[in-house]
């Protein structure tokens, strides 16, 4: 088989088509792909790179050029949508990504206080402009756009403990909030695709089986993630769910994604058994990537490949102290034909 471009490889792997080897990617968004080594090397630093499209694109481009992941991914946090709808965000610093410090609602019933996400202003526009810049740089490298999951976004607009209570006691109000969020996520997702994103990744660190339980996972996470996915016309749709999946294994096939990404604590064999029709992605420990020697990273990659992982990726967002040598070791191990052959 001829050597595929990174974009061809990712889009084929996402559809479970034959590839020359697995792609090695990190989507961005909640699954942060950036770290201090590459920021300092490129002179595109946080927090400036969160608000400047040239620096955001420059950081993503520099990581690929330095032998990093085989994609561009923006943004580098999961607060863009919540901020656009009214949450107050601390932009962090060189080592800390942006985070919500004040939610605009004390109840999902106060939907009237939210602002519609405007793709022509604020950080939403920064992301869209960064995608346009990246698309113009190298069309062989896939650009992955990102969306915070509907439940996770809701948990930034209303205190998460209040939201969970209202899922149980005020479902009608909670559903109206979720529908509002979904409509805004669709607007942002479509704008990223129009700007040039080849894939969209939706990450749900809060909308998990561990936090919600099986029934509310189906009622809120699956229902509303699918509502977003179904409205997006894009070549590859990725969903990442954090944490243990034991309680929701049988529900996962209901997700309308091409690719399912999961945490390092989840056995690959169990996911493959439950999701035979979907490409699976992950699940290299981010703790290992941040702290262990390169040879250990190569061993983890070999293990993932031997167990049948379709797309090699970190299991979650990277620590900003992750050394570039470990990311290079990860990518090099995937590219090693002998490693792939097992």
Go through the domains of the chain in sequence order and give each one's CATH number. Answer: 6-341 (3.20.20.210)
Q: Kindly give the confidence (pLDDT) of every residue in the chain, 342 residues in length, as a single tens digit, with 9 standing for 90 and above.
A: 789 999 999 999 999 999 999 999 999 999 999 999 999 999 999 999 999 999 999 999 999 999 999 999 999 999 999 999 999 999 999 999 999 999 999 999 999 999 999 999 999 999 999 999 999 998 899 999 999 999 999 999 999 999 999 999 999 999 999 999 999 999 999 999 999 999 999 999 999 999 999 999 999 999 999 999 999 999 999 999 999 999 999 999 999 999 999 999 999 999 999 999 999 999 999 999 999 999 999 999 999 999 999 999 999 999 999 999 999 999 999 998 554 443
What lies within 8 Å, CB to CB, of 120 at 6+ separation is none
Strand pairing partners for 237?
200
Tokens of 286: 């981010």
Strand pairing partners for 143?
72
pLDDT at residue number 339: 45
pTM: 0.96
Helix (H, G, I), strand (E, B), or coil: what is residue 144? strand
Tokens of 183: 């409509």
Strand pairing partners for 259?
238, 279
Report CA torsion sign: 130, 233, 156, 35: negative
Tokens of 14: 């996402």
What lies within 8 Å, CB to CB, of 147 at 6+ separation is 29, 81, 185, 188, 189, 200, 201, 202, 203, 228
Separation of alpha carbons 81 and 260, rounded Å: 22
Picking from 144, 149, 140, 311, the residue whose alpha carbon sits closest to that of residue 236 is 144
pLDDT at residue number 138: 80
Separation of alpha carbons 60 and 51, rounded Å: 14
Based on its alpha-carbon atoms, the radius of gyration of the chain, rounded to whole angstroms, reads 19
What is the per-residue burial (b if ≥16 Cβ within 10 Å, else e) of 155-170? bbbbeeebbbebbeeb
Residue 174 contacts residue 219 (beta carbons within 8 Å): no
Picking from 241, 141, 138, 122, the residue whose alpha carbon sits closest to that of residue 188 is 122
């Amino acid at each position: 088989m001829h050597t595929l471009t990174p974009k061809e490889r990712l889009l084929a792997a996402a559809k479970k088509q034959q590839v020359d080897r697995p792609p090695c990617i990190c989507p961005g968004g909640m699954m942060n792909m950036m770290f201090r080594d590459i920021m300092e090397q490129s002179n595109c630093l946080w927090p400036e790179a969160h608000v400047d499209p040239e620096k955001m694109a420059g950081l993503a481009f520099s990581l690929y050029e330095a032998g990093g992941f085989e994609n561009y991914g923006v943004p580098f946090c999961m607060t863009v949508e919540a901020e656009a709808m009214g949450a107050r965000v601390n932009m962090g610093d060189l080592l800390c990504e942006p985070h919500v410090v004040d939610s605009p609602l004390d109840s999902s019933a106060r939907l009237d206080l939210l602002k519609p996400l405007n793709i022509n202003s604020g950080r939403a526009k920064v992301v869209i402009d960064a995608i346009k810049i990246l698309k113009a740089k190298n069309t062989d490298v896939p650009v992955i756009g990102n969306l915070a999951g509907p439940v996770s976004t809701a948990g930034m607009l209303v205190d998460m403990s209040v939201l969970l209570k209202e899922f149980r006691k005020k479902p009608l109000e909670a559903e109206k909030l979720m529908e509002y969020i979904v409509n805004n996520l669709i607007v942002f997702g479509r704008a990223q695709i129009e700007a040039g994103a080849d894939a969209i990744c939706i990450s749900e660190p809060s909308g998990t089986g561990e936090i919600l339980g099986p029934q509310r996972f189906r009622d809120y996470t699956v229902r509303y993630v699918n509502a977003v996915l179904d409205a997006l016309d894009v070549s590859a749709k990725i969903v990442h769910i954090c944490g243990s999946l034991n309680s929701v294994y049988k529900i996962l096939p209901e997700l309308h994604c091409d690719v399912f990404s999961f945490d390092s604590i989840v056995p690959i064999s169990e996911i493959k058994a439950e999701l035979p029709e979907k490409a699976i992605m992950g699940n290299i420990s981010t703790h290992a990537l941040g702290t262990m020697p390169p040879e250990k990273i190569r061993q983890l990659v070999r293990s993932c490949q031997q167990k049948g992982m379709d797309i090699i990726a970190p299991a979650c967002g990277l620590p900003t102290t992750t050394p570039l040598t470990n990311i290079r070791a990860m990518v090099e191990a995937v590219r090693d034909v002998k490693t792939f052959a097992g």
